[in-house]
Amino acid sequence: MRAIPFIFFVAVVSGPVLADDVGITKDIMSVTVQTAEGPVEIMRNQDNDARLAEPWVQTSRPCPSFCIQPMSPAPGVKTIAELEVLEFLSLGEGVLVDGRIRSQYEEGTIPGAVSVPYTEAADRLGEFGCEIDFDGWICGDDVPNVVLFCNGPWCGQSPTAARRMIEVGFPAEKIYYYRGGMQNWNMLGLTVMPGAS
């Protein structure tokens, strides 16, 4: 089992640190990640008057299907937050998976994320180094860590993807769940970009 190491990363800082008011942490102003479109700098919105826009301001969605999700979607899956997602991206040793439907991904996602809709996750394990077998998938020790996310603590898309992946053979200890998803990412003013078509 290979866990995400918790060695903190070096941030790329543009200009003097004192020039920016809104940091990721007191010591980190931004993180640059590689995406299919090239490097992207992730930082928080520097406008101190910025407010959430729709649909992220909505607090109450009907349950079902928008029920509050458990902290962990399945035994063995580790739940992480924004700083761990940024560290995961900066290390580049795994795959950040947007488990939402394709149209949501295309509207805006976390830089560096790939689209694997929750309805397809169990069928696409070959993209993570698993091999198809009659009874499901064979996933060796060398499969990458994956971080799954969706719309937020009320979204069941990435938890469903995690459970389906585990059911067909992906190791639970290789799955990390960013429960806050796009709701928290937007709430914190972090960089969002359109998903690649």
Total of domains in the chain? 1
Residue 45 is part of a domain; what is its CATH number?
A: 3.40.250.10
Tell me what pLDDT residue 168 has.
95
> Which residue range forms the structural domain that includes residue 31?
17-187
Tell me what pLDDT residue 131 has.
96
Tell me what pLDDT residue 185 has.
98
Answer whether residue 110 is part of any domain: yes
Tell me what pLDDT residue 91 has.
92
Answer whether residue 5 is part of any domain: no
Is 79 strand, coil or helix? strand
Q: How far apart are CA 140 and CA 124, in angstroms?
A: 15
Tell me what pLDDT residue 85 has.
98
Tell me what pLDDT residue 36 has.
87
Longest pairwise C-alpha distance within the chain: 58
Answer whether residue 137 is part of any domain: yes
Q: What is the mean pLDDT of each run of 10 residues along the chain (197 residues)?
A: 39 43 93 92 94 90 94 97 96 95 97 97 96 90 96 97 97 98 97 90
Answer whether residue 1 is part of any domain: no
Q: How far apart are CA 127 and CA 169, in angstroms?
A: 14
Tell me what pLDDT residue 176 has.
98
Tell me what pLDDT residue 21 has.
83
Answer whether residue 183 is part of any domain: yes
Answer whether residue 47 is part of any domain: yes
Q: What is the pTM of this model?
A: 0.87
Provide the CB-side half-sphere exposure for 41 (13 A, CA): 12
